[in-house]
């Protein structure tokens, strides 16, 4: 195993949120990492569109965007090497056939998507969906955005 640097794209969404009935908002930012610029930009467009529909949220478009960066990551010589290194890790799922994994993910995504109301219907209250993106509840500093491949 070696350590390498891989390119990622960091999406920053800067917004000002006012509690119900208040005229002063609190500025906040959150960041998400993506492996491709296209995924980053698509998620940003969808989040901005959703936030624009909420009366008490203002998105700062100058401070929001997708920028390239890099993260340090472990590198393995083969699929077998990574399986050997993590086989005892709780919840580890060995990398397998990409099409088989994608089918399982797509099925789970479609089932979850069918159970959710749109963010317009819930006035932006998560969990909800924007098109085929699932928006999860915010807990702390993390936000989960689900997008079907």
pLDDT in tens, 95-124: 765 555 556 567 777 888 888 888 888 887
* CA distance readout (Å), 47 to 33, 34, 52, 149: 14, 14, 9, 17
pLDDT band at 149 (very low <50, low <70, confident <90, very high): very low
> What would the pLDDT profile of 7-44 be if each residue is shown by its tens digit?
999 999 998 888 777 778 888 898 999 999 999 999 99
> What would the pLDDT profile of 61-72 be if each residue is shown by its tens digit?
899 999 999 999
Spatial contact of 84 and 100, defined as CB atoms under 8 Å apart:
no
pTM comes to 0.54
131 class by beta-carbon count within 10 Å (0-12 exposed, 13-18 middle, 19+ buried): middle
Alpha-carbon torsion 54, 20, 118, 111, what sign? Answer: positive
């Amino acid at each position: 195993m070696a350590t390498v640097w891989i390119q990622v794209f960091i999406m920053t969404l800067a917004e000002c949120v006012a509690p119900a009935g208040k005229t002063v908002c609190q500025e906040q930012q959150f960041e998400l990492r993506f492996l491709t610029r296209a995924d980053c930009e698509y998620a940003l467009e969808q989040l901005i569109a959703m936030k624009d529909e909420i009366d008490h949220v203002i998105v700062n478009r100058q401070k929001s965007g997708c920028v390239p960066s890099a993260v340090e990551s472990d590198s393995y010589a083969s699929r077998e090497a990574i399986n050997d290194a993590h086989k005892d890790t709780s919840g580890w799922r060995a990398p397998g056939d990409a099409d088989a994994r994608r089918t399982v993910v797509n099925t789970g995504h479609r089932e979850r998507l069918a159970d959710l109301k749109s963010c317009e219907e819930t006035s932006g209250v998560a969990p909800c969906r924007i098109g085929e993106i699932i928006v999860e509840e915010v807990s702390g500093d993390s936000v989960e955005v689900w997008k079907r491949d």
